[in-house]
Chains A and B, each alone.
Chain A
Amino acid sequence: MLSVSNLHAAVEGKEILKGLSLDVPAGEVHAIMGPNGAGKSTLSYVLTGRDGYEVTEGAATLDGEDLLALEPNERAARGVFLSFQYPLEIPGVPALTFIRTALNAQRKARGEAEISAPEFLKLAKAKAAELKIDFEMLKRALNVGFSGGEKKRMEILQMAMLSPRLLILDETDSGLDIDALRIVADGVNALRSPDRAMLVITHYQRLLDYIKPDRVHVLAGGRIVASGGPELALELEREGYDKYARAA
């Protein structure tokens, strides 16, 4: 599914990723943990093609296709979805309109027919109910005036409706209380499937109690410095990042 090899990337001339390699096969959930400033958010932005993140060396492919050569929307159409650490407010655009526009743009890019209005509404109602989102909220401008927890739930709703193949969750637990965390985690877990891969980026182990990873990687100094099973997350929680930060 996702294969990253020797990735180097710079922001404003400063190298942040320094030879990062990572393979996430379909059906697996991998966690990326690391101290602040390790390059966690940079990795998510490089994989999704944000302006200002310059790849200087290395490769990233999705099912063998060069991701880095594609526009952000083309990557999205191929199934790359980033759940933002800080979801943006989109004034004047109702959530439903935004999601329908995104869904139809992706379908068009894949040569599929547009979703009909009744079909779309039915889907939105069902997914909103699963995530305990009041459907009326979807008629309001996306994320404008929403609480931190509501914004995160809205990210998961979009994820559920767009049905991506590679899910990148960037600090999805930040700003969530325990109830909101549980709802969000249930939403993510419902999307686990043999043909999807997930990359869960987090500073704390807490989220991984709810979204159980198959593999855990430690990102420090712009590289993966250690990889292991779920027990690695527990060790990091106990002992901190110090020894890895030093190793980097």
Chain B
Amino acid sequence: MSVAAAIRARDPAELPGKRDEDWRWTDLRGLIREVPAPSTPLDPGSLGAGPFDGLADEVQIVANGGEPVRIEVAPGADHTVALRLVSRGDGAHAAQVSVHVARGGRLTLLESYEGEGAYLAHAQLSLAICGEAAVERIVLAADDGEAVSVSQAEVELEPGAGFAQTILTTGARRQRLETRVRHPGGHARLRLDGVYVLADRRHGDLTTVVEHRAVDGTTEQLTKGVVRDQARGVFQGRIIVAEGADRTDARMGHHALILSDRAEIDAKPELEIYADDVACAHGNTVGALDEDALFYARQRGIPEAEARVLLTAAFLGEVVDRIGHEAARDLAADWLSETLR
């Protein structure tokens, strides 16, 4: 049962849906009656620039699926790669990306989803990060409001490695951005952050699963979102601490604002702890914009719409501020103010 298999076989029965516990809020099976025909190939040369091109020393384009892409970082090397997953048209396509960062290597992966059309897209990413290597992955997802888009990343960390991720998304007709991390403990560091800003009838699902398999691992997670109109935000965060994975320190936060009566948030933070000596915590809040703060800003002369943007941007800005790569952080801050306007 997978989106990639459904696209390959053109069989909607292969799509995940409500009956799968992990997909009950992002039902694809019930949405898609017929898997679209394969997308027509797209010439990467015909595309304009991507959002991160200026920041990267290498640009990789995956257009309407196409051939698998491999990104390699040699031992001790330092790379900034823009990875563009581009979708055009109303067809179906699947992409595959594998990333390998050798011992002591550093990679800034600036990943963008750029879509136009009512496509069905799937991206499968696998990231292997060796000891003493560090990866920062920043995902900017700009899918079409008519599209269905699923991205699934599997991250394998070695002891002593670092992985930090920030996802920024405006959703799609239905969208899921999923990250699964096998955490080896051993002082490997993990940060998994996300921001969703959803309007109209868009749907955005940020799902993460982290499996702490041995002692001395840390995970920090902060996801924030706002939904308005009839949009729907989904956050599923699961942290599993296996038996014997003592001294695990895992913190998860999800905080969202609902800005209209018809918007919806579904959140499921889960900690499954089988070890004895751990420090784990999660916080989950869903609320409205603080009306008192809003009046305070208006009393000082800031018009209501502008005050709402100011307060919402500040709420979400906490996540953007955690981005390590300076230029990407600036770009994310610009994205935020553009998106909220």
**Residues in A whose Cβ lies below 8 Å from that of B300:** 73, 76, 81, 98-99, 102, 158, 162
A82's contact among B293, B299, B306, B318, by CB below 8 Å, is which?
Answer: B299
Interface 1/0 per residue, A156-177 and B, CB below 8 Å: 0010001000000000000000
Interface 1/0 per residue, B297-330 and A, CB below 8 Å: 1111111101100110111011000000000000
Question: B299 to A48, Cβ gap below 8 A?
Answer: yes
User: A51-B291, A92-B318, A93-B310 are contacts. A102–B296 as well, Cβ < 8 Å?
Assistant: no
Interface 1/0 per residue, B273-293 and A, CB below 8 Å: 000000000000000001111
Q: Which of A178-199 contact B (CB under 8 A)?
A: none
A71 to B310, CA, bound (A): 18
Question: A102 to B295, Cβ gap below 8 A?
Answer: no
Residue of B nearest to A83 (CB): B299
A92 to B313, CA, bound (A): 8
Question: A106 to B292, Cβ gap below 8 A?
Answer: no
**Does A50 sit within 8 A of B, measured CB to CB?**
yes
Count contacts between A and B, CB distance < 8 Å.
77
User: A71-B303, A77-B301 are contacts. A101–B310 as well, Cβ < 8 Å?
Assistant: yes
B301's contact among A76, A91, A141, by CB below 8 Å, is which?
Answer: A76
Most central of A49, A98, A103 by chain B CB within 10 Å:
A98
A92 to B318, CA, bound (A): 7
A152–chain B nearest beta-carbon distance, Å: 14
**Does A1 sit within 8 A of B, measured CB to CB?**
no
B94–chain A nearest beta-carbon distance, Å: 39
Question: B310 to A73, Cβ gap below 8 A?
Answer: no
A101 to B300, CA, bound (A): 9
B168–chain A nearest beta-carbon distance, Å: 16
**Does A55 sit within 8 A of B, measured CB to CB?**
no
- Report how many residues on chain A are interfacial, defined by Cβ distance under 8 Å: 31
User: A51-B291, A71-B303, A88-B292 are contacts. A102–B314 as well, Cβ < 8 Å?
Assistant: no
**Residues in A whose Cβ lies below 8 Å from that of B317:** 92
Q: Is the interface of B mostly helix, strand, loop or mixed?
A: helix
Question: A102 to B315, Cβ gap below 8 A?
Answer: no
Residue of B nearest to A84 (CB): B296
A85–chain B nearest beta-carbon distance, Å: 12
B100–chain A nearest beta-carbon distance, Å: 37
**Residues in A whose Cβ lies below 8 Å from that of B295:** 50-51, 72
Most central of B292, B301, B302, B311 by chain A CB within 10 Å:
B301
Question: A73 to B301, Cβ gap below 8 A?
Answer: yes
Residue of A nearest to B313 (CB): A92
A75 to B306, CA, bound (A): 16
**Residues in A whose Cβ lies below 8 Å from that of B303:** 71, 73, 105, 109
Question: A93 to B314, Cβ gap below 8 A?
Answer: yes
A8 to B288, CA, bound (A): 31
**Does A35 sit within 8 A of B, measured CB to CB?**
no
Q: Which of B89-139 contact A (CB under 8 A)?
A: none
Most central of A48, A91, A103 by chain B CB within 10 Å:
A91
A105 to B300, CA, bound (A): 9
Question: A101 to B314, Cβ gap below 8 A?
Answer: no
Residue of A nearest to B303 (CB): A73
**Residues in B whose Cβ lies below 8 Å from that of A106:** 301
Most central of A71, A84, A92, A162 by chain B CB within 10 Å:
A92
Most central of B292, B296, B307 by chain A CB within 10 Å:
B296
Question: A90 to B298, Cβ gap below 8 A?
Answer: no
**Residues in A whose Cβ lies below 8 Å from that of B318:** 91-92
**Residues in A whose Cβ lies below 8 Å from that of B291:** 51
B83–chain A nearest beta-carbon distance, Å: 30
A73 to B300, CA, bound (A): 7
**Residues in B whose Cβ lies below 8 Å from that of A230:** none
Question: A73 to B315, Cβ gap below 8 A?
Answer: no
A77 to B298, CA, bound (A): 10
Question: A73 to B292, Cβ gap below 8 A?
Answer: no
Q: Which of A120-144 contact B (CB under 8 A)?
A: 141
**Does A87 sit within 8 A of B, measured CB to CB?**
yes
Question: B298 to A71, Cβ gap below 8 A?
Answer: yes
Residue of A nearest to B295 (CB): A50
Question: B301 to A88, Cβ gap below 8 A?
Answer: no
**Residues in A whose Cβ lies below 8 Å from that of B297:** 90, 98, 102
Question: B314 to A73, Cβ gap below 8 A?
Answer: no
B302's contact among A50, A73, A81, A91, by CB below 8 Å, is which?
Answer: A73
Question: B311 to A71, Cβ gap below 8 A?
Answer: no
Question: B304 to A71, Cβ gap below 8 A?
Answer: yes
**Residues in B whose Cβ lies below 8 Å from that of A91:** 314-315, 318
B306's contact among A90, A93, A105, by CB below 8 Å, is which?
Answer: A105
A2 to B332, CA, bound (A): 46
**Residues in A whose Cβ lies below 8 Å from that of B314:** 90-93, 141
**Selected A-B contacts with CB under 8 Å, 11 pairs:** A49-B299, A76-B300, A82-B299, A88-B293, A101-B306, A102-B297, A102-B300, A105-B301, A105-B302, A109-B301, A141-B314
- Further pairs besides A50-B299, A72-B298, A99-B300: 12, Cβ < 8 Å: A49-B298, A71-B298, A77-B301, A82-B299, A88-B293, A90-B297, A92-B313, A98-B300, A102-B301, A105-B301, A105-B302, A105-B303
Listed in ascending order, the chain A residues whose CB lies under 8 Å from chain B are 48-51, 71-73, 75-77, 81-82, 84, 87-93, 98-99, 101-103, 105-106, 109, 141, 158, 162
List 4 tightest A-B contacts by C-beta distance, closest first: A92-B314, A76-B301, A102-B300, A106-B301
Listed in ascending order, the chain B residues whose CB lies under 8 Å from chain A are 290-293, 295-304, 306-307, 310-311, 313-315, 317-318
